[in-house]
Structure 1
């Protein structure tokens, strides 16, 4: 009897050893013209919080990755190009493409990869579509794929990553998604951002703020009482910010005698001497402030600033009158202010 139990126990062990792991995904690919290279796979959120390396030899690569649930990742090429890649346990993913067009790959092996492949092929058939057409295509996909991870990617690419995102429209698109997608870390973080953006939307009262200027003096909103105040967020290490400084310098000189308008610079620098040097080099004669906390600057959080340069126009009553205005829009607003005062 003991021998029978022993044989039974050994059979169970052999069966367990022979079974394939279920928490893995096999990945094979062939990119024409890529030759020998190194690719990387990393997650878009904490659900896949590591980076894997793929060695490419003569345009071909393969790997077995550990994955225990459906995750959204990026496939990164050595030239910096990134492409969405969706992985799930048990999948056998195949990637095909050309080095000449890394922005459009053919990926099979599970539903989200195949959905994105079909979407990209559809876009190719449009020739050179306008931004509006691309948004319409992305919106239509999201409406018809409420539970697809591809919907999150398209939401981010065509609606969130814009100079001035329409958060009301973004919110409506999120509302159409299933609870499974809404529970994803990215959507959770995006909803938090939308809530912060809504607090400082055009028409809302500006939050109270105070910072220290280059001379160590405390600066706050009341120092610009009864004036239109353009708050400009910038940093010495950000070239677009420096370019915006040049445009503002021209406006400042033109409006020097305008008692109803002022500019306040808020820098995200962390080195005081570098900041002061940039002020001098860019000839910034208007008020400049910085607390040397970078993106952790309290005023940056208060105004939900996400990119540089950014600007907020405050009315004399303290309401937010405009956000991320172009040079032309600022000049137009100043003309309107001037006409009102006459």
Structure 2
């Protein structure tokens, strides 16, 4: 009889435990047009480094996930679209939307998901806003939600990922965030990046560098004395860089006899043979250098290079004149240089 009573009490205890709130995350969704497909879910920073697979059948999917704390993850769809999803233990996440409008999914289950959903729904009502209008909306959101993970996502999307990011603006927006957000791995890395990029911002003096060219000859800034120098950072393995080489070929063809201007290609290649083959195949006739250290190269760190392709224009005195200039901007700079040299020549003759 005692054994029966003990078993009964044990079953009651287990039942009570099962009724408590679980730390697992319940996720369910329905995206019209998704059909039978696979969605990948991966962590956006070191706080969640796992990968999960969501199998959809007839537009619907569900899963039980886990997270130790509030984290940012990314939904990756088969067409390459990425969308942020914030997860925390105990959440019941619901996702609704359509494949035709993946940029404005409706996600509930916690505050940052709802906040970002509301933000995107507001954008949807604007039609086709300008880039400036989008930045203003994002800035207002960050100011009003200084403790939201959605603010970090919007800071990255609308300001950090800008082809020519305004570091002062990014720093100002980061300063508005709470200390807890600033301690996040992404923000910690971003703030360190801003610190490094500020050292090589437009108007600052360029760091000294020395690398070897294809003929094993040392090339440094002093090789371009009294010249404006446009440094092109690229790599043979980067398809965008390879496509961008066409622009530099046009510039070189026009300016190869210009004594006041020079081009320098700095490659992030690791394979010397591949680098040399690409120089020949892409007819890169201007000076080319490489230390075969990839992203770990000293010059990459010195100039705080984060993406490819990147270009930096230096004045004859080594002052940084511009960054990530397009072909039109480079042409305008060259016209300015020509006018300055013409004025200088007239002054000297008189």
TM, length-normalised to structure 2: 0.92
Q: Residues 248 and 13 of structure 1: is their aligned pair in 2 closer, same or farther, counting only changes over 3 Å?
A: same
Match of 1:41 in 2: 41
Rounded to whole Å, the distance in 1 between the matches of 2:328 and 2:198 is 25
Match of 1:27 in 2: 27
**Which deviates more, 252-261 or 298-307?**
252-261
Match of 1:124 in 2: 124
Q: Per-residue CA shift, 1:211-246, capped at 9, x if unaligned?
A: 110011111111112211111111122233223322
Alignment of 1:305-316 (within 5 A): 305-316=305-316
Alignment of 1:147-186 (within 5 A): 147-186=147-186
Q: CA deviation at 1:67?
A: 1.5
RMSD: 2.1
**Which deviates more, 85-94 or 266-275?**
266-275
Rounded to whole Å, the distance in 2 between the matches of 1:62 and 1:99 is 17
Rounded to whole Å, the distance in 2 between the matches of 1:147 and 1:17 is 33
SS at structure 1 position matched to 2:22: coil
Contact (CA 8 Å) 1:25, 1:66: kept in 2 or not? Answer: yes
Match of 2:57 in 1: 57
Q: CA deviation at 1:167?
A: 0.7
Match of 2:347 in 1: none
SS at structure 2 position matched to 1:116: helix
Rounded to whole Å, the distance in 1 between the matches of 2:101 and 2:341 is 56
Structure 1: segments with no counterpart, 5+ residues? none
Match of 2:106 in 1: 106
Match of 2:302 in 1: 302
Rounded to whole Å, the distance in 2 between the matches of 1:57 and 1:223 is 63
Q: Per-residue CA shift, 1:15-69, capped at 9, x if unaligned?
A: 6753546321111111122221111111110111101111111211111111221
Q: CA deviation at 1:253?
A: 2.4
SS at structure 1 position matched to 2:211: strand
Match of 1:219 in 2: 219
Q: CA deviation at 1:188?
A: 0.5
SS at structure 1 position matched to 2:102: strand
Structure 2: segments with no counterpart, 5+ residues? 343-350
Does 2:339 match 1:339? yes
Contact (CA 8 Å) 1:91, 1:109: kept in 2 or not? Answer: yes
Rounded to whole Å, the distance in 2 between the matches of 1:54 and 1:244 is 37
Does 2:89 match 1:92? no
Alignment of 1:235-250 (within 5 A): 235-250=235-250
Q: Residues 217 and 66 of structure 1: is their aligned pair in 2 closer, same or farther, counting only changes over 3 Å?
A: same
Rounded to whole Å, the distance in 1 between the matches of 2:67 and 2:254 is 60
Match of 1:258 in 2: 258
Rounded to whole Å, the distance in 1 between the matches of 2:61 and 2:284 is 53
Rounded to whole Å, the distance in 2 between the matches of 1:315 and 1:80 is 41
Rounded to whole Å, the distance in 1 between the matches of 2:99 and 2:280 is 46
SS at structure 1 position matched to 2:47: helix
SS at structure 1 position matched to 2:249: helix
Rounded to whole Å, the distance in 1 between the matches of 2:46 and 2:16 is 31
Match of 1:72 in 2: 72
Q: Residues 89 and 227 of structure 1: is their aligned pair in 2 closer, same or farther, counting only changes over 3 Å?
A: same
Q: CA deviation at 1:166?
A: 0.3
Match of 2:268 in 1: 268
Matched residue count = 340
Q: Per-residue CA shift, 1:279-331, capped at 9, x if unaligned?
A: 11222221101122222222111111111111111111111111111111112
Q: CA deviation at 1:169?
A: 0.3
Which of structure 1's runs of 4+ aligned residues deviate more than 4 A? 6-13
Q: CA deviation at 1:183?
A: 1.0
Match of 1:115 in 2: 115
TM, length-normalised to structure 1: 0.94
Contact (CA 8 Å) 1:24, 1:68: kept in 2 or not? Answer: no
SS at structure 2 position matched to 1:168: helix
**Which deviates more, 295-304 or 159-168?**
295-304
Q: CA deviation at 1:257?
A: 2.3
SS at structure 2 position matched to 1:219: strand
Q: CA deviation at 1:338?
A: 1.6
